[in-house]
Structure 1
Amino acid sequence: MVLFDQLLESDLVDDPYVAPALTGYFPKVLQARYANAMLRHPLKREIVATVLTNSMINHVGIVFVFRMCDETGAEAHEVVRAYILARDIFDFPALWAEIEALDGKVAAPVQNRMLIDAGRLIRRT
């Protein structure tokens, strides 16, 4: 909850670059029909902060932001912004999707190791 609050206090959730976090939160049929209305949603900032926080924690762990803030002196919203840029520059969503598509095709420990290694790579980035 602390990270969520810190994101709400920053301008990151208002950055047009992260707007896809808002529209992606809704079902595809609503995205196509109401994309413009979503930008005026009264909980827009809260939805963006939730999506960004959950995505980051799911892929790099719960202590990532705290650790990066401690090691670099950066603010939480700056760490999240750097995570988003690294994620997108190296197209991690495509990698994660490929790994997740291996469900039932490779042993679970192998798949888990791939996800852990991908998380380690993005943390180092």
Structure 2
Amino acid sequence: MIDLLTTHYNYVVSVLLFGIGLYVVMGSDNLVKKVIGMNIFQVGIFLFFVTIGYVDGGVPPVVGHGQTTFVSPLPHVLILTAIVVGVSLTAVALALIIRIYNGYGTLDESVIKEVQVDD
């Protein structure tokens, strides 16, 4: 069991990042902390996909290599796209949080719900 954890530590770290991100998103009432938790969760997903895409002894799929073990570029391309989408999503979320703060004067989700019920 210990040998399995030491050889596949990337999977352990990605599961820890999943858990930490999910805990922060679900356990916090602060909207900025929720965005940070979402980013931590995304990093766990990125690490998981890059780890899956790794091939021991593989080379890039370029013509001229004499080996038969190639690494698929698809997971890496997907992660690059996901990073761009994640940065965009974070920027939009923070812009919305600024608007919410200007409108309600707080970033606490429970206070915002109370204000909406009162209106």
Q: TM-score normalized by structure 1?
A: 0.24
TM-score by length of 2: 0.25
